[in-house]
Amino acid sequence: MRRSIATVCLSGTLTEKLTAVARAGFDGVEIFENDLVASPLSPEEIRTRTADLGLTIDLYQPMRDVEAVPEEVFTRNLRRARRKFELMRRLGADTVLVCSNISPQALDDDALAAAQLRRLADLAQDFGIRVAYEALAWGRHVSTYDHAWCIVEMAGHPALGICLDSFHILSRGSDPKGIEDIPGEKIFFLQLADAPLMAMDVLQWSRHYRCFPGQGGFDVAGLLRHVIHAGYNGPLSLEVFNDVFRQADAGRTAVDGLRSLLALEESVGVLPLPAPVIPTGVAFAELATGDPQPVSKLLGALGFTRAARHRGTPVELWEQGAARVLVNTGTATRRSGTTLAAIGLESPDPAAAARRGEAMLAPTLPRRRTAHDVPLESIAAPDGTELLYCATSRSQLPSWTDDFEPLGDAPRPASGVTAIDHLALTQPRHHFDEAVLFHRTVLGLRPRDTVEFADPYGLFRSRALSAPQNGPRLVLNLAPGPTEEGESRAQHVAFAVDDIVTAVRRIQGAGGELLRIPANYYDDLQTRYEFPDGELETYRELGILYDRDEQGGEFRHCYTATLGHVFFELVQRIGGYRGYGAANAPIRLAAQRH
């Protein structure tokens, strides 16, 4: 199906928006009137620019408060419409959106609405223009799609049809099944938007919180199925606006939007794409640092052994159990600090995974390791983290470890780390929903519910994604600080241990520095849970945090000091605990600031 997007979705000038839409790979565009009015380009220039970019103008929008009004008002409205149709002819747009009337002047009279829309359609037809009538969820008398269709049917004019908008339909709780009763050729246009489920005035909800399909709580795919069954074959067009997009980079927003459309089409079975190849684990976490000494010291204290060195680049491999950490000193400067630069994902089929990434618009990165001819496909996540599709010592597939040369270092005493439990990635506010959609559609991970709470310096939001079975777990955190753009929050790597008490004692014995937790935390813990004798005292002594879920699963965890922009966590899961100790995050954040 053809894919389109409204210019109102994007930030910037009309020229910037059109360029972003074309670069992302859309077929067409809805021109939002305000964007045209504010543009120094004439309608003819916009027409040429759009065509040069390979885009069609699928809709001009909106016309407001046209129908169901007293005759003298309607006469003025028709005059207004004629001027718009003249402009649309210059622009080369052949479909106009007419929103149901919201003005106090509007009359509750369907016959009048139908008669006036018929006259409007008559005029439009003279210009070769079609009128698509849409029920706004907050329309004065017409606020549901079936009501709008009833009026369009009554008008019975070939140049008059209906525009469906998933937000207006689903926010009202209307049953979209009735869409199948509308003849497909009378559905002139389809606008798609999602939104988080909120109990809020629908106008505010629509203006500030719309998001791309798959980023909210509506069943947009279910609605699309009904529209396809009805026989609609026009474009799928995104019409999303929210306070975040208005400030975000237009190019990124456009790619994010197109990715959401591709995933939507795939989910309703109209677009065959290479299937996601879900990673089965984490092959490694890679730190980039210009100052390797403190990193080596901390990894050593954590019980990791420096096992191998890359043959071609200054990268060391540290190991403990199935946990592997690469330390790369070839890309970072001392000034940029230590960062979590890349994640190796254990992939059942790296080449197929790369094809999926490409189909889902993931930016492909240049292959950076080619010693011994081990190809490593890699892509960039929205936050810039490099994701590499790896095979580790599996038959049939070349292993990335073949590029590494074993070192003769004596094994360190292990602390009990068995694997990488999860990776926590801090996201810039503008890209949080984009990142969730990316990891879901590109990697095939499943997002869990969003967790939100107030931390001492701002609202903290967190959302985990994990493989349906075993596999990597990613935790996306959003934590705006006092200087929203300036302060970058640290990322972290969480290691699984079987017995955190033993592990911490070993680490402290080896000189590893752990985050200090305030005594008040343990006093409070005591008011919330009952513990076996001595257990709380052990936690207090060692700085171990504790959480318990509703099924009685338990979580014990602690943190190392922060190196640059990275720190480590040790986690012990007991009794099927599946969370990440989110309730303790404010304690951790406050302790890290002290």
Name the minimum Å distance from CB 14 to its own copies. Answer: 8
Kindly state the tokens that stand for 86.
């003249």
Cβ distance to its own copies smaller for residue 42 or 502? 42
471 with 423: CB under 8 angstroms? no
| Total Cβ atoms within 10 A of residue 466 | 18
567 with 512: CB under 8 angstroms? no
Inter-CA distances, 122 with 100, 118, 126, 427, 537, Å = 18, 6, 7, 52, 82
Cβ distance to its own copies smaller for residue 8 or 179? 8
Strands in 45-176 per DSSP E:
56-63, 95-99, 130-134, 160-165
Residues near its own copies (CB under 8 A) are 8, 11-13, 33-43, 80, 83-84, 87, 198-201, 204, 207-208, 241, 243, 246-249, 454-459, 480-486, 516, 518-521, 523-524, 526-528, 586-587, 590-591, 593-594
Name the minimum Å distance from CB 39 to its own copies. Answer: 6
What is the 8-class DSSP label of residue 563?
Answer: B
Cβ distance to its own copies smaller for residue 8 or 326? 8
Name the minimum Å distance from CB 327 to its own copies. Answer: 32
Kindly state the tokens that stand for 472.
């990597």
d(CA 96, CA 87): 11
Name the minimum Å distance from CB 199 to its own copies. Answer: 3
Angle between helices 500-509 and 535-542 (to 10 degrees): 30
Cβ distance to its own copies smaller for residue 119 or 208? 208
Name the minimum Å distance from CB 140 to its own copies. Answer: 17
d(CA 364, CA 445): 19
Name the minimum Å distance from CB 574 to its own copies. Answer: 22
277 with 356: CB under 8 angstroms? yes
Name the minimum Å distance from CB 202 to its own copies. Answer: 9
Name the minimum Å distance from CB 96 to its own copies. Answer: 13
Cβ distance to its own copies smaller for residue 26 or 85? 85
Cβ distance to its own copies smaller for residue 7 or 441? 7
Kindly state the tokens that stand for 287.
């730190």
473 with 420: CB under 8 angstroms? no
Cβ distance to its own copies smaller for residue 46 or 475? 46
Cβ distance to its own copies smaller for residue 152 or 585? 585
Kindly state the tokens that stand for 285.
């976490």
Inter-CA distances, 388 with 306, 358, 378, 444, 467, Å = 21, 13, 4, 15, 16
Q: Does the CA dihedral 574-578-580-582 come out positive or negative? A: negative
